[in-house]
Amino acid sequence: MTDIGTRIATLRSERNISQQDLADRLFVSRELVSMWESGRRRPDYPMIRSIAEAFGVPPEEIADLDQIALDELTDAIGGIREMTEEELASAIGDFLRENKGTGSKLFVQRYYFLKTTSEIALLFGIGENHVRSLLSRTRRKLIKFLQEKRS
């Protein structure tokens, strides 16, 4: 599938909508739309839904939603290059066994079951921003764990 930024730019161009017009519809800055299109930033899933709605297309036409979740994880652990896939899988398993809190449960829902942050928020009865925050903290803990494991 074409990358998200290219897809947004194509849809915008096909509909003769300027970056500023799209930004106004989404209540974001034109600069942010430009960063999405250039690949310097990536919209999260709720924003992809809003972008899709603005263009009148399903979100799946803009992004492979499973790939978004996997990209988040890859971005977080991308610096850990010295581990094989097997070592990485084993280390993540060790991490999850040692960290049994809510963050780890959310981590599994997001990166194993590929649920959206809104689905996880509903499942756990917490706000979507809280889910994002817990996932971010858990990814940071995972990075630290993997770096220590590598040493």
What tens digit of pLDDT does each residue of 112-149 get? Answer: 888 888 899 999 999 999 999 999 999 999 989 988 87
Q: Phi-psi bin for 39: left (phi > 0), alpha (psi -120 to 50), beta?
A: left
Same-domain pairing of 44 and 97 = no
Q: Residue 79 corresponds to which tokens in the numbers above?
A: 């610096």
**Is the domain of 54 the same as that of 83?**
no
| Whole-number average pLDDT of the chain | 88
Q: Cα dihedral angle (59, 61, 66, 68), rounded to 10 degrees?
A: -80
Q: Please tell me the predicted confidence (pLDDT) of residue 79.
A: 66
Instruction: Assess whether 51 and 82 both reside in one domain.
Output: no
Alpha carbon distance 52, 131 (integer Å): 22
Higher pLDDT, 25 or 83: 25
Residues 140 and 70 in one domain: yes
Predicted model pTM: 0.65
Please list, in sequence order, all residues whose beta carbon lies within 8 angstroms of the beta carbon of residue 78, skipping any fewer than 6 positions away. Answer: none
Domain that holds residue 138: 65-150
CA dist., res. 68 & res. 2, Å (int): 13
